[in-house]
Structure 1
C-alpha cells in the first residue's frame, strides 16, 4: 500500500512466450504492462483495448528510452505502454525502458514511475487568527497609508461614555483589524523572508512576462520579450541581494543591542533566524500510559488534558497564615495618563506574536499618538469600573521544548500569547509598582530586578566556593528546583501576599479581574485545542507575572529563614542563607544538619503556597566535607553533585572555571557551525560577517567570562578556537598562512585574554558602584572562618584580581572612588589591559 507523497517505482519485466504471441503482458497491483514486438501485434493490442476502452494510459518519454525487444522503437512497433484503472490516471508519471541489464535476452526492463496523490483530510479544528504582514510598515508609503486608515476609522467611531468596556473595546479592535486587513493584508509563507514587497512585485512581473514568451508564436516579438525578461531578471536578483544585505544588517544591529544587554535568549533566536533553521514542535507524543498517539485530533486532546492538569492544581492542604497588611506602598493609584500610555506603547517589542484578538504590536506603534487617543478612554473606563474586556482574559498557549524525552508532555513548557493592547495596561501598572516594591524584597533575590544580573549571582557563588576551599571551611550548597513553579502558585495566596506587601487595593482588584475566568487554548500543528479555564499559577506572558512571582518566593524564603542561623557567616552580625534568581535557589550552610533543616523548612513553606520541590532535580554540592550522610527530603535522598550548571555557568566543587570554559567553547562551536551558510555567503561583506561573529558566536563563548579564573592553558584554548573561526571567515586555509597579529589586525579583533580582562574589570566597576549592603559587593572582600593550608595558596579568581590591583599600584579604597567617575574608570581599565599586553 502506497503512502501519500512517497514515490514508488514499479519494475515490470515484459514477458512473451514467443514471437507468435499477440502481446507480452504482466499484471501487478492493478497495473498491466504491454510490450509490443511486431507491427502485427498492434492489432491484438487494439482488440485488448476494446475490452477496456478507458483504462489504457501511455506515458511519454524520450524515444531513445522507448526501445523494446531487439531494438524496436515506437516507429517500428516497440513502444512500451501501461494500462491501469481510472483511479491511477493522476498517479502515473512516466514509463521507460531500462536497456542496461545484460540478461542474455532480447527483452528489456520496463519501468513505470508512480506518485500517489491522496485526498487531504480537512481538519475542522479552530485555527489561530492569521498573522498580518507587518513588514509592510517598514516602507514609508505603506506606513503612512496605514496611519491614515486607522485615524480615519477612529474618527468615524461613535463611542459613548455609557458604553460597556467590552463594547468599547470591540469597536477599537475592529478599527485596528480592518486597517490591518485593508492595508497590510495576510502574511503568507515565504521561503525568503527578507524579500521586500518591491522585489516580489518584480518577481510577479517577471512571471507574467515568461507566460507571454511561452504563449507568443511571433519570433521577433518573442525575441523582444526575451530581452525584457532578462533585464527584469537582473533587476530582481540585484534587488534580492540588496534586501538580504539589509535584512541581515538589521538583525546584526539587533544582536549587538541584545549582546550589550546580556540578553542571551534573543541572541539564540537571532542565530536561529540567520541559520534558517526552524524547530518544529509537532512531535509524536505519548499518553499517560506511555503509548504513542498517532492522530492529530487525539494529540490535541492530550495536550489540552496535560495543560489543563498543569494549570489547575489542587489548593494547598495547609493554607498559608499571612499577618495583617504592613505599611502600604506609596504608589500612584490615579487612572492612566496619556504620557504613561505613550511610554507603554513605545516599550512594546516589535516582532512579538499577537494574542487571540490578532492585533500585533506594530499596529499600535505605527501611529503612537492615535493609539494613545484610542486607548486612553478605554483604560480610564477599565480603571473606574474595575473590569477588563473578555479578549484580554483569553490566551493561546505555545509549547516550548525543555530537556529530556520530548515525547513526554512533561518535558514541554507553555508560554501564553496575550492581547497586546492589554499589555499596555499591565506595563503602566508594572512601572508604578516595581520601584516601590523593590525596596521590600530580600537582598538575596536578584531575579527580574534592576541593576542585578545572573553574573552577580554566579560570581558570588564562585567566590564563596573558592574562598571556602582556600580557608578549608566546610560548605554545603543545595540547588533547589521547583516543579512548574510559575504554573502551580495558589492564587488565593497571591492576593493575600499582595495585600501584605502593601500593594494598593485598586491594583489587586484589576489584576484579579484579569485572572478571573481566564481561559486558554493550546496551539498544536497550527490548530487550536478546546478552551479550558486556568485557575492556578501566574499568567505566562503577562508583564506583571515575574513581579507577582517574586512576592511569593520572597515570602517563602523569609519564612524559611526567619529567626534561623543556618547559613554561612557573611559579616560580623549577619549570615547569608541563600542566593536566589527568581525560582533558581541555592541554599548555603556550613553544617550538614543546618542544610538538612533549611531544605525541609523551605519545602514546608513552599507547599503552603502551592509550590512543590522537584526532588529528582534538586542537588547538593559538598566542599571540604567530612560527613557523608545524605540529605533527605520526603524520605528520599538528594542527589550529590560534583558540578552543577547554575544560571548557565558550570560551578565545580573544586573551584576554577575549566569545566565552564570547555562547555562555552563547545556551545560557541555549535553556534558557528549553525551559521556556516553566513560564512560561505558571497553576498555579505567581511565587515558584516565579523559583526555577526562578535554578536552571535563570541557572546556565547564569553558568557560569564567576568567570573572566570583564566589560566594560560585555558587562554590558549579560547584563543585557538577564536583564531580558527576568524580564518574561516576570511577564507584563509592551509597552505596559506598568516600570523595571529595580522589576523587580528585584518578582523579588528583584540586578543581574547584582553577582552575577558576588560569584561571582568567593567563588571567590577559596576559592582563597586553598588551600595555597601549589596551581597555581590561584599563578596569581593569576604573570607570565611578557617585556616589556610601550608604552602602556596591555589590560584583563584579573587586572588588574580588582587594581584592585578597590586600591579596597578592602587588599592581597593582608591578603586572605589575611581569607579564613581565612569570616564576615569574606563581609562583605568584601558591602562590596566594595555600594561598586561606589554607584559605578555
Structure 2
C-alpha cells in the first residue's frame, strides 16, 4: 500500500452517481481469502479488467477494520473481527475505483460479516447505499442466523427510503425458480430449489421492499451458478445482488462472470446499473515535499546554491529600499527558497514499487486461461483434467509470489547493506523498519464524543478539529498564582542575533525533518549555510528590533501520533506541531542565550532536557533508594505522578509571569510571547487539512523552546510544593530529598503517610494554579516497609497502590532488585528480534551488518537501564542465554554444529554479558563521579537511609556490587573518585575490564 501523491485539503460536499445514461458496474465476490501475499493485487487486476466501480468482497479473512490504498490506486475498506488475537476468518470489504473513492460519503464497519458504504449520486438528494455481507452457511444454528439478520435489519433501518439501497454478498441462500408467495421479491430465473437461508433472504427482502436481481434476468445456467464444488458436480446460486424496488429500473442486468479468477470456488457476480457517481468537490492539500535527496549530489547542490544566490542578489535590491514590512519580506524570502526547490529539486512523488514480477503476472494469466478451460469443458473427464491443470497453475502462482516476495526482501537487504557500507544510518533504519513490517499503516475510522463511529472524511476532519481545539484551548485557572518578577534581571545578551549565532543555529538543524506550512525543508537552508546566514541575518534583525513575528511562523500543522489503547479514540493520540524551519533558527538563538543564564536556577532534582543528565541518572537513584530502604528497614512512600496532557494545558498568562520571575529580560519575553499570540493550527488527517483554529493554551510540541518553558513551570511548581522541605526522605544530615523529576514524570518521596498525603495535596493545588491537572487514574502509590494501610487521597479520592511501576521505561519493584526489570527487557528484546526475522534470514545482508542491526535494535532494547542492575548469576544467565540464541539464529547455527559459546562470541565480536554490563555500569559511574559532590545522583552512590539493618544475611544490592567490584580492581572509593576526573585514565580503566570471553 502507498499514500497518494496527491491528497485532499478540505472535504466539502462529495462529487455526483445515478444517471439515466451511464452504465456502471457493481460486483460481489467471495474470494475465499485475502490473507495471502499479492491476493489483493490479483483481485484489483480483475476489477480493472471488468471496469467495476464498486466491488464487494467476502471472506477476506482480514482482522479489525480500516482502509488501505493499493499501489494501483484502488482503496479497500474492510471490516473483520476486532479482537487483537482474532483468527483470520470471515471478513468483508469494498474495493473502490477512483470514481467511487471521489464519491464516497461515509462507510461503517459492522463486524466480520457486514460492511456498509454510502456514495453521492448525480440525482439530487439521493444517495447510493451499498451493504456487503457474508451470511452464515445453511447448517449454522438458528441463533447465529437470526443474529446476522437482526444486525442487517438494524443497519437498514438507519437508511432513508428515498435513497437507493443495494444489498449484496455471499448470502449462502438458494432461492430457486419457484417464486410462489414471493412474487414481489423475486422472479422465476433463480437456480435450484429454495433452502432455509433462501427463505430468510426472501423474507428480509419482502420486509425491506427489495428485489433479488439474479432471479429477474434470464441467463443460461452457467451464468447463474455462483458457486461450484471442487469436483464440478454441484453448482449453486448463493451469491446475490438485491436492490430497492423503487430503483428496480436502474438495474439493467445481473449475471455471473466466470472468467474472473482469484483462485476461489465462487464466481464474480456483476450488476449493470444505470447510474453515475458524482465526484466530491474537494480542494487539494498545500503540503508539498521536495526531493531533498538530490542535494546529496554535488552538482545538484552547486546548482541549488547558485540559483539561491542569484535570486537573493535580485531580492537584495528590493530589501535595500527599506520599505518592506516583516510579513512582506518573509514572503519574498519564502518565494526565493520554494521556487528554487521547485526548479532544482522538484516535488517528491509517493509511489511504492510493486514487487510482483512480470513472470508471476504471466502465471496469473495462465491460471485464468486454465479456469476458462474448466468453464468450457463439456464432459466430466475433461473438467477433471482441466481442474488438475488449474490446481497446478494455482500452485505455480503461489510459488512464484513467494519467490517474488523473497527477492523483494533480498533487494531491500542489499539496499540495507549498501546503506551500511556508506554509513547512511538513516536509510539503514528506514529499510530495517520496512523489513520489520513497521511501515504499513492503515487508517481506522474514529469515534465522536458519544462513541459513534465516523467514516466520512468530512466528519473525521471535523472531529479531529473539535478534539484538538478543545485540547489546546483549556479554560484559564480559577485561582492563578500571584507570581512576582525577579528583583534582578539575568545578564543575558539581548542584542540582535549575530551571524555567528545564526550560522551555529543552522548547523544544529537536523536533516530529514518535515517542513512546516511554508514548505521550506532544512536541507534547503543547509545547502548553502553562508548565503542562508546572510538572508536570515537581515530578517531576524528586523524581527528582533520590531518584536514582530511573521504571521506564517505562527501557524502549525499538527501531526497525530498514536499512543497505546483504542485507535478509534482521539484521546489516544498526541500531536506534534510542524513549524517553520527558518522560525526554528530564531528559536535556537533565543534558547542558546536562555540556557546559559537560567539553567543554574533550576533544581537539581530535574533531569529532563538538561545537559549531562539522563534517564539513567533518575532510574539509578530511585533504584538505590528502594534497595537501601529495604536493607535498612526504612519506611518509604513513592508517588509516581502523571499529568494529563501537560504540555497542552499550561496557562500562558502565568507562563509569561514565570519568565519574569526567573529574571529573563523583557526583550526575550516579548519575542517568545509574540510568537504565541494569534497562533493557529490545522490538523493533518488522511492527507487533508482541517479548518484552521486558534491555540491559546499550552506550549507547542515540536518547538525548540517548549521543553525549556515547560521545565520552568515544573520547577516553580516543585519549589512551591517542597518549600518547607519537611516531607521528603532524609538524604544528608542537613537536607531532605523530596522528589526526582524527568520533565513531567515526577516521583515524590516521603518516609511517612502524613508526609506523602500533605505533599500530594499541595502538589495538586499548585499544579492547578498553572492549568495542569494530575491524572488520578494513572498516578500510582508505592509503599515499602510500612504497615499503614490507609490510602493516599487526592480531592477525596484514593490513589491506586502498586507493588511495581515502570518508571522512565525501567521496572521499579517495592522489594528492590532487578529480576522483574530484566524479565521485561528480555521480553521487549524478544519482540524486537522476532520483528526483524526477515533481516536475519536475508542472504544479501552481510553478517557484520546483521550484527550492527542486532546491537542497535535488539541489544540496545535489552540492556536499557542495565547500568542500574544488581548482578546475580541467575539474571546474568537468563540474559546471556537469550543473546546466545539470537546470535545462533543470525548465524544459522544449530546445536549439532557444536559451536561453543566462547567461539560464538569471537565469531560475532560480542563480550560475555557480565563484562558488557560491567563496562556500561562503570562508564556511567565515571560520568556521575565527575559531577559536583552535591548533585543528587552522585550522593545516591553512597546513600544510606536512617534505620537499622535487618537480621540475617544482607541482600545483594547495587551499592554492594559496586563496592565489591571496586575492591576487585584494587582501588578505594576515594581513589576511584580522583581517577574519574581524568577522562583518559578512566576510559582506560573501563576498557581494561575483564573481557576474556570466558563464560561465568
State the TM-score, normalizing by the size of structure 2.
0.69
Alignment-derived partner of residue 259 in structure 2 = 95
What SS is found at the alignment partner of 2:259? strand
Distance in 2 of aligned mates of 1:711 and 1:475: 25
SS at match of 1:833: coil
Aligned counterpart for 2:213 among listed residues 5, 17, 29: 29
1:150 aligns with 2:308: yes
Q: Aligned with 2:839: secondary structure?
A: helix
- How far apart in 1 are the matches of 2:877 and 2:268? 61
Q: Does 1:776 pair with 2:937?
A: yes
Tell me the residue number matched to 1:694.
855
Deviations 1:198-249 (A, max 9, x none): xxxxx9xxxxxxxxxxxxxxxxxxxxxxxxxxxxxxxx99998864533355
1:439 aligned counterpart, secondary structure = helix
1:373 corresponds to: 534
1:46 aligns with none
Cα distance change of structure 1 residues 838 and 242 upon mapping to structure 2, 3 Å threshold = closer
The corresponding residue for 1:21 is none
Q: Which stretch of structure 1 is more off in the superposition, 378-387 or 316-325?
A: 316-325
Distance 1:663 1:739, change over 3 A: same
What residue number does 1:725 align with?
Answer: 886
Aligned 8 A contact 1:35 1:68 in 2: no
Helix, strand or coil for the counterpart of 2:897? coil
Q: Which residue matches 1:551? A: 712
8 Å contact kept, 1:95–1:113: no
Higher strand share: 2
Give the superposition deviation at 1:337: 1.1
Residue 406 (structure 1) shift: 2.4
Measured in 2, the distance between the counterparts of 1:451 and 1:255 equals 29
Structure 2 counterpart of 1:324: 485
How much does 1:192 deviate? Answer: 5.6
Structure 1 unmatched ranges of 5 or more: 18-23, 38-56, 59-64, 70-83, 101-108, 196-202, 204-235, 257-266
Contact 2:410 2:843 (8 Å CA) reproduced: no
Q: Which structure 2 residues correspond to residues 322-401 of structure 1 after superposition, within 5 A?
A: 322-401=483-562
Q: 1:382-439 CA deviation, whole Å, 9 max, x = no partner?
A: 0111101111000011111122222222221111111111000001111111121110
Q: Does 1:135 align with 2:293?
A: yes
* Worse-superposed segment, 588-597 or 798-807: 798-807
1:305 matched to 2:484? The reply is no
Q: CA deviation at 1:95?
A: 3.3
SS at match of 2:557: strand
Q: Give the one of 584, 588, 594 matched to 2:755.
A: 594
Q: Residue 627 of structure 2 contacts residue 816 of structure 2 at CA under 8 Å; is this kept in 1?
A: yes
Q: Distance in 1 between matches of 2:528 and 2:423?
A: 23
Query: In 1, are the aligned partners of 2:253 and 2:271 still within 8 Å (CA)?
Result: no
Change in CA separation of 1:112 and 1:318 when aligned onto 2, cut-off 3 Å: closer
- TM-aligned CA deviation for residue 691 of structure 1: 0.7
Q: Distance in 2 between matches of 1:572 and 1:114?
A: 86
Matched with 1:6 is: 56
Q: Give the match's secondary structure for 2:574.
A: strand
Structure 2 residue aligned with 1:815: 976
1:497 alignment partner, one of 644, 658, 679 = 658
Contact 2:607 2:743 in 1 (8 A): yes
The alpha carbon displacement at 1:558 in A equals 0.4
Does the residue aligned with 2:994 lie in a helix, a strand or coil?
Answer: helix
- Aligned match of 1:246: 418
CA distance in 2, matches of 1:652, 1:240: 43
d(CA) in 1 for partners of 2:712, 2:602: 8
1:273 to partner: Cα distance: 5.0
1:736 CA displacement: 3.3
> Which deviates the most, 468-477 or 561-570?
561-570
From 982, 987, 999, the equivalent of 1:826 is 987
SS of 1:827's equivalent in the other structure is: helix
Partner-residue secondary structure (3-state), 2:282 = coil
Residue 148 of structure 1: how far off its partner (Å): 2.1
Secondary structure, counterpart of 1:479 in structure 2: strand
Q: CA deviation digits over 1:317-367, x for unaligned, max 9?
A: 111111232322121111111111111111111111111111111111111
- Which of these residues, 799, 806, 809, is aligned with residue 648 of structure 1? 809
Q: Offset at 1:492?
A: 0.6
Structure 2 residue 573 is matched with structure 1 residue 412: yes
Following superposition, the deviation at residue 695 of structure 1 comes to 0.8
Alpha-carbon distance in structure 2 between the residues aligned to 1:558 and 1:422: 33
Native 8 Å contact 1:6 1:115 kept in 2: no
What corresponds to 2:745 in structure 1? 584
1:294 positional shift? 2.5
CA 1:168–1:777: 2 relative to 1, 3 Å: same
Counterpart position of 2:200 = none
Matches within 5 A, 1:186-225: 186-191=347-352
Mapped contact 2:219–2:255 kept (Cα < 8 A)? no
- Matched residue of 1:327: which SS? coil
Tell me, in whole angstroms, the C-alpha distance in 1 between the residues paired with 2:260 and 2:887: 52
Cα pair 2:409 2:838 within 8 Å, conserved: no
Q: Deviations over 1:542-579 (max 9, x none)?
A: 10000000111100100111123110111111111110
Aligned equivalents of 1:642 and 1:363: distance in 2?
A: 52
Q: Do the aligned residues in 1 keep the contact of 2:514 with 2:578 (CA within 8 Å)?
A: yes
The answer on whether the counterparts of 1:134 and 1:362 sit within 8 Å (CA) in structure 2 is yes
Q: Hey, what's the Cα distance between the residues in 1 that align with 2:518 and 2:464?
A: 22
Q: Is the 8 A contact 2:721 2:762 kept in 1?
A: yes
Q: Deviations over 1:639-678 (max 9, x none)?
A: 0010001001000001011111111111111111121221
CA contact (8 A) 1:281 1:400 kept: no
1:334 and 1:6, CA in 2 relative to 1: closer, same or farther beyond 3 A? same
Alignment deviations for residues 53-107 of structure 1 (CA, whole Å, 9 cap, x no partner) = xxxx99xxxxxx9x999xxxxxxxxxxxxxx999889998653899x9xxxxxxx
Are the equivalent residues in 2 in contact too, given 1:482–1:614 (CA < 8 A)? yes
Q: 1:632, CA displacement in angstroms?
A: 0.4
1:139 CA displacement? 2.1
Q: Is the 8 A contact 1:12 1:26 kept in 2?
A: no
CA drift at 1:812: 0.7
- Unmatched runs of 5 consecutive residues or more in structure 2: 1-25, 29-53, 59-168, 179-187, 192-211, 225-229, 235-247, 358-407
Aligned twin of 2:184: none
Displacement of 1:751 after TM fit?
A: 1.1
Match of 2:668 in 1: 507
Q: Given the alignment, which residue of 644, 647, 650 partners 1:486?
A: 647
Q: Is the 8 A contact 2:561 2:575 kept in 1?
A: yes
For residues 622 and 557 of structure 2, the distance between their equivalents in structure 1, rounded to whole angstroms, comes to 38
CA distance in structure 1 between the aligned counterparts of 2:531 and 2:255, rounded to whole angstroms: 57
Give the corresponding residue for 1:421.
Answer: 582
Distance (whole Å) between structure 2 residues aligned to residue 161 and residue 445 of structure 1:
47
Asked if the contact 1:251–1:270 (Cα under 8 Å) also holds between the matched residues in 2, the reply is no
**Structure 2 residue matching 1:180: 3-state secondary structure:** helix
> Matches of residues 424-443 of structure 1 in structure 2 within 5 Å?
424-443=585-604
Once the two structures are superposed, the pairs formed by residues 754-793 of structure 1 within 5 Å of their partners are: 754-793=915-954
Cα RMSD for the two superposed structures: 3.5
Post-superposition CA distance 1:592-646 (Å, at most 9, x none): 1000000111111111111111111111100101111110010100100100010
Q: Is the CA contact 1:578–1:587 (under 8 Å) kept in the aligned structure 2?
A: yes
* Residue 818 (structure 1) shift: 0.8
Shift of 1:178: 0.8
Aligned to 1:260: none
Q: How does 1:520-531 map to 2 (within 5 A)?
A: 520-531=681-692
